Amino acid sequence: MLLEDMSWDEVNAVAKDDKTVILVFGAFEAHGKHLPLKTDYFIPYEIAKRVAAKTDSLLFPPLQLGFCYTLRRFPGTVSLSSSTLASVVFDIFSELIRNGFTKFLVINGHGGNEPVIKNTLKEMSDDYDFRAAIVSWWNLVDVETGHADENEASVLLALGGKLNKEPKQENFSSYEGYLIPAPDDVFAPSGYIGSVKNISKEKGERLVSQVEGKLIKMIGADLELKK
């Protein structure tokens, strides 16, 4: 149920059916030397396609750019400003609501996006009648996920992606509080956080299954799934 494949009259018809619209928000940024720049939109979009097919939901094209300020020092990273992302979120959702859609599942693939999306939709809810659930995919798994670590890399493999090269474990530092600007050593020199020692497609398939299962349950619960 890809919205991009529909004609306007087909969209007009399905807008009356109270279907959930799934939106993917990602980023275009460095993920170490071992993962591609597309990782943050590739993972949630591939998961979203599976979920949409199993729930008869509608899938909006993914937003491939996000707010990724801390990784701009790595070549290839292209970041929107937080204000631009907020404007894009407002415009997309207000247009979809104008088209008659009122129920939205946001699958987020990049940590920097989440507060911007949440705050924008909170403010919109004063003036627009809709329901939305916002989920970053890594919050639905039973392991702690870093940035371009073995868990994210394993999920990418499970969804049909490939490693650009075999990673080497490098040192990085953790700090109390949220420091601005972030120290360079928050990330390993190659641009990742976490362990990269145990990457496997099998691990990724297990994690994808967890995410997919919970998202399907969320849609089945009209987006109000209790923990």
pLDDT at 1: 86
Our CA angle for 2, 207, 86, nearest 5°, is 50
pLDDT at 41: 98
* CA-to-CA separations, 57 to 21, 144, 173, in angstroms, rounded: 6, 29, 42
> Could you give the CA distance from residue 75 to residue 38 in angstroms, rounded to a whole number?
13
Domains and CATH numbers, the chain: 3-142+210-220 (3.40.50.10310)
Q: Which residues of the chain fall below pLDDT 70?
A: none
pLDDT at 119: 98
pTM: 0.96
pLDDT at 169: 97
Give the pLDDT confidence of 99-156 residue by residue, as tens digits: 999 999 999 999 999 999 999 999 999 999 999 999 999 999 999 999 999 999 999 9
